[in-house]
Amino acid sequence: MAGRPSGGIIERYRPYLPVSPTTPIITLLEGNTPLIVSRALSQRVGRGAEVYLKYEGMNPTGSFKDRGMTVAISKAVEAKSVAVLCASTGNTSASASAYAARAGLRSIVLIPSGAVALGKLSQALIHGARVVAVDANFDACLALVKSLARQHPVTLVNSINPHRIEGQKTCAFEICDALGRAPDYQCMPVGNAGNITAQWKGYTEYHGRGRIGHRPVMLGFQAEGAAPLVKGRLVKHPRTIATAIRIGNPASWQGAVAAAEESRGAIQAVSDRQILDAYRLLAQEDGVFVEPASAASVAGLLRLAQAGYFKKARPAGRRQGPTIVCILTGHGLKDPERAIKSIRLARPLPPSLSAISKATGLKEGLSGGIIRPRP
Ligand SMILES: *Cc1c(COP(=O)(O)O)cnc(C)c1O
């Protein structure tokens, strides 16, 4: 197979996607992201479990949103749309503005004022989106763009656009193609719930076509302060440090519930503290830097493991433990301020060799380690 680089997700999974030979393909070669074994997490879960990290932060704009956006923007161009519109906690706008720039479309994004991580905002701005900060939360922004899309000739590219869901299901395809089977469990963060809906659809389609013998148990995690699916009711003022899942009225509510029920999985809540612990653990023990929302999948995995959830996961006669995939939805560099806030950074020192050998820990033989979480 040498010589020919693989295309984006549309080229690789064309028969599963709503494109025809005449659809213009707008791609940044999204997808084909690494599936990395996590020794730290496999050990913590125990029972012979193999935990994998699907590092979606390695997509072109740094989140899984690119999988859906390549399809949504290609279809918008095919439909002769001139502008795309979205509400965003950040990553949708970063992705929409990049793909729109590539397609020569205008992009308009509504963001909740003060609630979008710096990296994401910088992306939308530099790609030339018209960014409108609204003094309201994401749910209100989504309601506004829905009304705007009804009144004006623009294409809405939030995940209520079915082409987004179609593209995002390719993450499940890649996991199955890499493992040679479906995982036994999949852990993922849930915000607007488009992604869990999409991935369940992906597993179901692969199963339907006989590509896999079983589908995984789907485990979705919301932040405690933004957990409408866990509580069974809307959350008016969602709160969490994980801005990508700070959503109180998920658009794909039914899809998330169906994924959890049909797979005998669950949607559960994790605290911000658990999210930040998982965030640091991924960075410091696996070398994988994610944004806080992505760490919700690992926080959830560890919570369930501690509660003995995977005890029943090794059926009699099977030597291997369960295969578990955690979706790491976005890159850590999206939200550098959070990383810096999470770790104690010492004051600058004068350039003195003895002071610096002490401060680096080299003087004491690195006994205390260098990086410490804030108390
Ligand atoms: C969008 C996003 C989510 C949430 O996905 P939904 O489809 O809204 O449930 C989680 N993490 C990151 C990094 C995101 O960008």
Tell me, what's the pLDDT at 316?
Answer: 59
- Pocket lining: 159 vs ligand 1, CB cutoff 6 Å: yes
Instruction: Classify residue 109 as left (phi > 0), alpha (psi -120 to 50) or beta.
Output: beta
The CB of 189 under 6 Å from ligand 1? The reply is: yes
* DSSP symbol at 81: -
Which ligand 1 atom sits nearest the alpha carbon of residue 247? 8
Atom 13 of ligand 1 has which residue's CA nearest to it? 330
- Whole-number pLDDT of residue 1: 44
Q: Ligand 1 within 6 A of 255 CB?
A: no
Of 91, 123, 298, the residue with max ligand 1 atoms within 8 A of its CB, to mutate for a pocket test, comes to 91
294's tokens: 């992505």
- Å from CA of 329 to ligand 1 middle: 6
Q: What is the DSSP letter of 69?
A: H
Sign of the dihedral defined by the CA atoms of residues 133, 120, 149, 189, in that order: negative
| Residues 95-105: b if buried by 16+ CB within 10 A, e if exposed | bbbbbbbbbeb
For the entire predicted model, the pTM comes to 0.94
Asked if 222 contacts 228 with a C-beta cutoff of 8 angstroms, the reply is: yes
Atom number, ligand 1, closest to the C-alpha of residue 242: 11
Q: Is the CB of 139 under 6 A from ligand 1?
A: no
CA 367 – ligand 1 centroid, Å:
39
How many CB atoms within 10 Å of residue 344? 11
Q: State whether the beta carbon of 294 lies less than 6 angstroms from ligand 1.
A: yes
220 close to 188: Cβ distance less than 8 angstroms: yes
Which residue has tokens 């922004």?
Answer: 141
Can you say whether the dihedral through the CA atoms of 22, 23, 25, 30 is positive or negative? negative
Runs of H (alpha helix) within the chain: 9-13, 39-45, 65-78, 91-103, 118-126, 138-151, 162-168, 170-179, 194-208, 228-231, 253-262, 272-281, 292-306, 336-342, 353-359
Give 10-residue mean pLDDT values along the chain (375 residues).
Answer: 71 98 97 98 96 98 98 98 95 98 97 93 97 95 96 95 98 98 98 98 98 98 98 97 96 98 98 98 97 98 97 68 97 95 88 92 72 52
* Minimum-distance ligand 1 atom for the alpha carbon of 190: 9
Ligand 1 atom with least separation from CA of 192: 8
Pocket test for ligand 1, best of 55, 160, 245, 326 (most atoms within 8 A of CB): 245
Residue nearest to atom 2 of ligand 1 (CA): 244
Q: Hey, which residues does 107 pair with through a beta bridge?
A: 84
Nearest alpha carbon, ligand 1 atom 15: 91
Atom from ligand 1 closest to the CA of residue 195 = 7
- Which residues make Cβ contacts (< 8 Å) with residue 323, sequence separation at least 6? 49, 50, 52, 179, 181, 183, 184, 185
Please tell me if the CB atom of residue 192 comes closer than 6 angstroms to any atom of ligand 1.
Answer: yes
Ligand 1 neighbourhood includes 259 CB (under 6 angstroms): no
Which conformational region is residue 29 in: left (phi greater than 0), alpha (psi within -120 to 50 degrees), or beta? left
